[in-house]
Amino acid sequence: MPVPSILQKPLPLVAIAEQYWDLTAIPRARAFAVLAKNCSNELEREKLIEFSRYEGQEELFAYANRPRRTILEVLLDFPHATKSLTLEALFELFQPIKPRAFSIASAMESGKLQILVAVIEYKTKLSVPRRGLCSHWLKDLQPGNMVNAWVRKSTFQLPADNKTPLVMIGPGTGLAPFRGILQERELSETPTSAPLVLFFGCRSSTADFHCEEDLKRMEQSGMLQLFCAFSRDQPEKVYVQHLIKKEGMLLKKLLIENGGYVLVSGSSKNMPQAVKEALIEAIGDAQHIEKMIQTNRYQEETWA
């Protein structure tokens, strides 16, 4: 394995801990084997070996994954093993910080590269506060700070013909790639007359309506048909799939009669399946949706 560039010069251990190791990561089974290796305490060693073996993966999941226990918290739970760690073992124990991928939320022609980031804050099942490592780092940046980044091609493949209808479904920060697509169309010297439809969802019209000004401007110009689901603005929760089910006539015309594309972006948890089921109900044709998937006219860009 090549040595990462950050480690190709002498560095204090504290700098490696701050810039290279992910101290908030949930440890894998391998980490417990490393901890067990030189542990002199019999009780700790037995438990560590149990977590490191295939037979102990259910117990490991209950201990580490379900409560989202970090590697630092594990070290506190096994003090005898922690005291026995060597410098070499630290590099086996701690995972490097993984790059985070974000969809670009702006057009190339705009001269800026913008992203849409949710600042992650939550509590674990044990009510321990957690913060997103990358999102909070980005939040704390100041103008002029440098960010190491690179650009890779989007997974979305747009139709070659700009007159092909696009139905975009992006709740929350899933809006990001669609803002970029819409900006591209808006700034184009040959604007398209193709129907552009966006289903967007968030908690409240007054709290997290991302890019509201841009979307409303595009809607008012007639370029975009916008449907917004604000889940907390009324007693009954409303999500994008509820709005999709109500627009059967429009969606049949765009997807069946006019050969439109569906692009879905956002959380990979429950949303994509709920959206797919809503589209099937809206157009009343499950086979057509499956055919769209097979011919790449139905695409998803989702993340955990």
Residue 2 pLDDT = 62
Number of domains in the chain: 2
Residue 231 pLDDT = 92
Co-location of 179 and 284 in the same domain: yes
57 sits in which H/E element? helix 57-60
Co-location of 76 and 184 in the same domain: no
**Rounded to whole angstroms, how far apart are CA atoms 44 and 50?**
10
Whether 129 is in a domain gets the answer no
Nearest to 271 by CA among 176, 199, 178: 199
| Type of residue numbered 78 | F
Beta-bridge mates of residue 199: 169, 227
Task: Tell me the CA distances in angstroms from 244 to 172, 175, 248, 302, one per residue in order.
Answer: 16, 16, 7, 19
pLDDT digits (tens, 9 = 90+) for 89-108: 999 999 999 999 999 999 98
Domain stops at, among 39, 68, 93: 93
Q: 6: which 2 tokens?
A: 């950050």
Whether 123 is in a domain gets the answer no
Residue 27 has phi, psi (to 5 degrees) of -70, 145
Co-location of 58 and 175 in the same domain: no
Whether 150 is in a domain gets the answer no
Domain stops at, among 53, 69, 93: 93
Whether 119 is in a domain gets the answer no
Whether 155 is in a domain gets the answer no
Burial track 249-260 (b if 16+ CB lie within 10 A, e otherwise): ebbbebbeeeeb
Domain that holds residue 241: 166-303
CATH number of the structural domain spanning residue 79: 1.20.990.10
Whether 24 is in a domain gets the answer yes
Co-location of 174 and 295 in the same domain: yes
Co-location of 171 and 269 in the same domain: yes
Domain stops at, among 60, 93, 126: 93
List, as one string, the DSSP characters of 146-179.
---------S----SSTTS-EEEE--GGGGHHHH
Co-location of 172 and 255 in the same domain: yes
Residue 220 pLDDT = 95
Mean pLDDT by 10 residues, the chain (304 residues): 72 91 96 96 97 96 96 97 94 93 89 91 89 94 93 92 94 96 86 86 92 95 95 91 97 97 95 97 97 98 89
Residue 265 pLDDT = 97
Q: What is the pTM of this model?
A: 0.86
Co-location of 195 and 79 in the same domain: no
Whether 158 is in a domain gets the answer no
Residue 10 pLDDT = 86
Whether 227 is in a domain gets the answer yes
Co-location of 186 and 78 in the same domain: no
